[in-house]
Structure 1
Amino acid sequence: MSGRTGRGVRAAAALLTAVACQSAPAARAAPLPDSATRPSGVVTWAASADRMGEGTAGQGYRLVVRTSVGGSDLRVRFTNTFGDRPLTLDSVYAGLRGQGAALGAGSNRPLTFGGARTVSVPAGGVAWSDPLPGNVPAGTDLVVSLRTPDAAGPATGHWMAMQTSYTGQGDHTAEESGADWTQTTGSWWYIDSVAVRPARPGSGAVAALGDSITDGWQSTTDLDRRWPDYLARRLNAAGRPVQGVANEGISGNKVLADGAGQAALHRLDRDVLSQPGVRTVFLFEGVNDLKADTGVTAADLIAGYREIARRAHAAGTCVVAATVGPFKGWSEWDPDAEAVRQEVNGFLRGSGDFDAVTDFDRVLRSPYDPERVLPFFDGGDHLHPNDKGMRAMADAVDLDSLDCTR
């Protein structure tokens, strides 16, 4: 057992042990909880939903996610957002990771939906599991195991997880052994949020709305070195009121136009404002809108930013915006795109539309060529930061700016 995962298992002793003596409820179909209802608690992990190709009947998934804030009454949101038919989940478990696909002894527990062990998620819908008694630590690997007996048509999930998870045939969701989870996947399937009830009253979360940099591309796979991961560790160590972090980045995403995922303007409500306990939206998008001669002007992008801020404020959340980082040397860079970036960043630095601004451009740029990423932070493609750059971004965030109320 690795030190990283072993500490989490030992700290919890056994995930959600309060259910150990409960008898399993009878397997029956449960009605979908109201998809518009945001449960109490705080989001501890999230990944934006997107189209994932065709679903596979009888497929099992053992999905590894990393908590940010710890707490009790674990709930998981299952998504069929892009499905064209109902999605049946007939066996769903949650536990703490041991090593690889194996779970910590005594930690794997069944999830229910309205008291039932089976749920049918309608096309375009979501379903929250019932609260599961017991405690889940902060900064630990949670494993959600599920089976889809009749999945077909478009699947929903998150393609670029930067995290190894596992698949298998047959129903092995209740097993703590990893022996039957013989294949791997670099994606998350059918889940997009995990929430807990934090021990500290008044705790909240920040949701990072972004593209591939937020999604973690060029950070090290399986080590949780995306900039929101580093931010979560800072918040946890500092004991801040805001401790939950929802990573709502999609590689290739744009503010204005659908493509790699729905545009930020189109997914704001589902991916961000629906998350439990979100107090602040951290907006860091725009480079995909302005590169490659898309025709997007600074005025276009500024209008998109203002619309996101207006809607987030109307929902009662604060908005922290980040400047667009340098990308000279990337294949789609040109002087026209750079001119738009500079104009947009000038607006962001001086605008009163946001509750705070984090200047990622100043953090990442080279002092010798401010249109380029500092080589020490460059992940190799002149756009995406490496692990050091990701950490520098997280370190630049003013934690006080995230603890904002409206």
Structure 2
Amino acid sequence: MRSVELPRRARRVAVVMAFALGAAATVPQAAWAAPAARTTQVVTWAASADRLDTAVPERTHRVVVRTSTGGSALRIRLSNAFGEQPVTFGRAYAGTVASGASVVPGTNRALSFRGAASVTVPAGGSVYSDPLPGTVRPYADLAVSLYVRDASGTATGHRMGHQTSYIAPTGDHAAEDDATAYTQRTSFRYYLDAVVADAPRGTGAVVTLGDSITDGAGSTADTNRRWPDFLARRLGDDRRTPVKGVANEGISANKLLSDGAGQSALKRLDRDVLSQRGLRTVVLLEGVNDIKATPAPTAADVIDGYRRIIARTHAAGACAVGATVLPYQGWGEWNANGEAIRQEVNAFVRESGAFDAVVDFDAAIGDPAAPTRMLPVYDSGDHLHPNDAGMKAMADTVDLRALRCGG
């Protein structure tokens, strides 16, 4: 596997030896004057930005996410990538989920933006918050509450979260611990597209670029059983690997080559993937939605798309891991021509040497007795999307050493 040097993004920050978001609130201010440790910013959660519904002012979104790596100095990234007008956030808070829309008392703390409580994000733009003192646990369920003071046009966010988030339809309720005002439930994740933590220097992140299979379709909602979630657990439990952060950049029905459900993987690569902090490795699982389309691209078209993503990933100082396209006979759009393209594309992934490493998802969950189909034990029932067991089998197939990228 090609050795790739990780870009140096270390920062000097204060580290508090606490083990829950908000614990630093009890630490004397003098503690923050202690000599800083050497750390690096690493994405601990992310979701691809897309067009949602109409932006609504004077409401509060409580977005529920789960971290991958732990660390300190939490930051959030707010995106207005698809907005036609600026969005003004009056306040933003982050705390630990108690249950539903409620937050553990004492953990919900205000975020700032260049020292201010409020921030305006221009159309097409994004912004990071200032670091929040304290420590974030790995696999923590966080509630990020965003009071949208002024907005119009199209809202930006992630459409299929497979995780319930909440809306307070009127007013600013970001600072509140209880769930009373959050009367609406949604699977959309409005405006929040990344969460970053400071981790020990040398820690890296993997970004999974894909479609609905990566996004979690077929897995049980509100249980974090997407294959990148299982991968995050494996990375966290393995003391030998410095790759700890996992960012899920899947979009349901996404294509490699053309826009549709979200921008194509080629078009969104810079924003969703290469911009993530601490990026070490990209795992590419795209192509099935191109292949099963009518008309379908040729295998050469798909392979050319792969080569372009590989080249841009390498230019960004990260490595590219290719994943084989899963079998899907039984899905309504399956046909023999698409299957022939899938086989040719998968042969390229396995045999060309173009990728730094390969993850053979096709072999992991395909039926050896019927190679065009998924094993029934891994099938969610639609013959395209794996169930929880299939998602775990996919994650278990990943060679964690392949994600280190020579580091």
TM-score, normalised via structure 2 length: 0.91
| Secondary structure of 1:362 counterpart | helix
Q: Which residue of 2 aligns with 1:15?
A: 21
Q: Which moved more, 1:126-135 or 1:146-155?
A: 146-155
| Secondary structure of 2:230 counterpart | helix
Matches within 5 A, 1:301-340: 301-340=302-341
Contact between 1:279 and 1:405, CA under 8 Å: does it hold in 2?
no
Q: Which residue of 1 aligns with 2:289?
A: 288
| Secondary structure of 1:171 counterpart | coil
Give the Cα–Cα distance (whole angstroms) in 1 for the partners of residues 288 and 378 of structure 2: 17
Q: Which moved more, 1:120-129 or 1:232-241?
A: 232-241
Task: Give per-residue Cα distances to partners, 1:294-343, cap 9 Å, x unaligned.
Answer: 23000000000000000000110001000000000100000000000000
Contact between 1:81 and 1:125, CA under 8 Å: does it hold in 2?
yes
Contact between 2:24 and 2:135, CA under 8 Å: does it hold in 1?
no
Matches within 5 A, 1:252-401: 252-401=253-402
| Secondary structure of 1:349 counterpart | helix
Task: Tell me how far 1:102 sits from its aligned partner.
Answer: 0.9
| Secondary structure of 2:372 counterpart | coil
Q: Which has the higher strand share?
A: 2
Give the Cα–Cα distance (whole angstroms) in 2 for the partners of residues 235 and 335 of structure 1: 38
Task: Tell me how far 1:277 sits from its aligned partner.
Answer: 0.1
Give the Cα–Cα distance (whole angstroms) in 1 for the partners of residues 278 and 389 of structure 2: 29
Matches within 5 A, 1:2-401: 15-19=21-25, 41-168=41-168, 169-198=170-199, 200-239=200-239, 240-401=241-402
Give the Cα–Cα distance (whole angstroms) in 1 for the partners of residues 211 and 306 of structure 2: 14
Give the Cα–Cα distance (whole angstroms) in 2 for the partners of residues 204 and 192 of structure 1: 18
Give the Cα–Cα distance (whole angstroms) in 2 for the partners of residues 172 and 158 of structure 1: 22
Task: Tell me how far 1:367 sits from its aligned partner.
Answer: 1.7
Task: Tell me how far 1:179 sits from its aligned partner.
Answer: 1.5
Give the Cα–Cα distance (whole angstroms) in 1 for the partners of residues 341 and 202 of structure 2: 40
Give the Cα–Cα distance (whole angstroms) in 1 for the partners of residues 201 and 81 of structure 2: 32
The letter for the 2-side match of 1:185 is T
Structure 1 unaligned spans of 5+: 1-10, 24-38
| Secondary structure of 2:395 counterpart | helix
Task: Give per-residue Cα distances to partners, 1:255-285, cap 9 Å, x unaligned.
Answer: 1001100000000000000000010000001
Q: Which moved more, 1:390-399 or 1:200-209?
A: 200-209
Task: Tell me how far 1:59 sits from its aligned partner.
Answer: 1.5
| Secondary structure of 1:229 counterpart | helix
List, as ranges, runs of 4+ consecutive aligned residues in structure 1 with deviation greater than 4 Å.
11-14, 19-23
Task: Tell me how far 1:293 sits from its aligned partner.
Answer: 2.7
Judged with a 3 Å threshold, the aligned counterparts in structure 2 of structure 1 residues 329 and 12 are, in CA distance, closer, same or farther, namely: farther
Give the Cα–Cα distance (whole angstroms) in 1 for the partners of residues 124 and 328 of structure 2: 36
The letter for the 2-side match of 1:276 is R
Give the Cα–Cα distance (whole angstroms) in 1 for the partners of residues 243 and 116 of structure 2: 33
Task: Tell me how far 1:173 sits from its aligned partner.
Answer: 0.6
The letter for the 1-side match of 2:22 is L
| Secondary structure of 1:266 counterpart | helix
Give the Cα–Cα distance (whole angstroms) in 2 for the partners of residues 94 and 165 of structure 1: 14
Give the Cα–Cα distance (whole angstroms) in 1 for the partners of residues 287 and 217 of structure 2: 16
Task: Tell me how far 1:405 sits from its aligned partner.
Answer: 4.0
Judged with a 3 Å threshold, the aligned counterparts in structure 2 of structure 1 residues 176 and 367 are, in CA distance, closer, same or farther, namely: same
Give the Cα–Cα distance (whole angstroms) in 2 for the partners of residues 260 and 376 of structure 1: 28
Give the Cα–Cα distance (whole angstroms) in 1 for the partners of residues 312 and 293 of structure 2: 28
Judged with a 3 Å threshold, the aligned counterparts in structure 2 of structure 1 residues 218 and 12 are, in CA distance, closer, same or farther, namely: farther
The share of aligned pairs that are identical, in percent, is 57
Contact between 1:43 and 1:275, CA under 8 Å: does it hold in 2?
yes
Give the Cα–Cα distance (whole angstroms) in 2 for the partners of residues 17 and 288 of structure 1: 45
Judged with a 3 Å threshold, the aligned counterparts in structure 2 of structure 1 residues 401 and 54 are, in CA distance, closer, same or farther, namely: same
Give the Cα–Cα distance (whole angstroms) in 2 for the partners of residues 64 and 196 of structure 1: 17
Contact between 2:50 and 2:158, CA under 8 Å: does it hold in 1?
yes
The letter for the 2-side match of 1:134 is G
Task: Tell me how far 1:364 sits from its aligned partner.
Answer: 1.2
Give the Cα–Cα distance (whole angstroms) in 2 for the partners of residues 40 and 387 of structure 1: 33
| Secondary structure of 1:139 counterpart | coil
Contact between 2:165 and 2:189, CA under 8 Å: does it hold in 1?
yes
Give the Cα–Cα distance (whole angstroms) in 2 for the partners of residues 248 and 50 of structure 1: 11
Contact between 1:14 and 1:105, CA under 8 Å: does it hold in 2?
no
| Secondary structure of 2:61 counterpart | strand
Give the Cα–Cα distance (whole angstroms) in 2 for the partners of residues 176 and 210 of structure 1: 35
Structure 2 unaligned spans of 5+: 1-16, 30-38
Contact between 1:83 and 1:123, CA under 8 Å: does it hold in 2?
yes
Q: How many residues align?
A: 380
Task: Tell me how far 1:351 sits from its aligned partner.
Answer: 1.2
Contact between 1:92 and 1:173, CA under 8 Å: does it hold in 2?
yes
Q: Which residue of 1 aligns with 2:6?
A: none
